[in-house]
Chain A
Amino acid sequence: MIRIAHFEEYEPKFLRALQRHLYTSFGLGCEQAGCVPWPLENREPNSPVDGLLLLNTAPKIDGLPSDRTLYLTQRKLQTRKLLTGELHTSGLSQYKGMRALLSLPPHEELERLQKQIFRLAIAELGHNFGLHHCLDPRCAMYPPWTLPQASTEASFCNFCRALSERYIRR
């Protein structure tokens, strides 16, 4: 089961669309867990937050031990400084873990960027299930920072779909 929790209020229409899309992509039940309290001390809406810290301190959602939770926030996530360079972060997930985090654009742009948001949500939850980045630019698991994603579909390639099914049923 996938559960969607959010730190701010969102339009029910958007949440339902995301729920439906995740259900069709993973073949798993998807439920809305509602709004959850902000866990960090940093409450300023415009300051970027540490994604990993937020991911690890987010409140636990009741459910089965195998449930994955996707947390949504409208706060920007801090740019990560990695060994090979800096990386703008719009989503994070615990690899083979239970939690994924997605930073969303402002409310006005949610509808316009819906496809890209869904794609990112699939990618982050895919990491949760054990998928790595994919070589196919049309796949949702393709690294999100490489090319404009407007032209690409928010779905898995055949290889990643088969792999995700295998990992989910395992």
Chain B
Amino acid sequence: MPRFLGNILENLFGKPATVRYPFERPEHVPGIRGELSFDMSKCDQCQDCERLCPSGAIEVDVEGKRIEWNPYMCIYCHLCVRSCMHQAITPLENVQPPGYRLEKKVFET
């Protein structure tokens, strides 16, 4: 019973364990695997990222010099970031927010 009472008091007066999400957002830790951003001035369209991507989220258009990245297919493994020879892919430290439409992100020179 004393253990029980302590628990009740802790729950009554203690802080909640969760974050009130839409009003306050949790801090993202450094090193989190977030969204990708392609630096097209460094990219030479070698297509390494497209070939390695396990979920097929990256499409490289060699002639048009543009990259389409699908954030809803991406599994955020960052194989592309590790494999890029020119370090043209920089991950952002955020989490892809939920969206209403399945939009791809387009990176052009």
**Do A and B truly interact?**
no
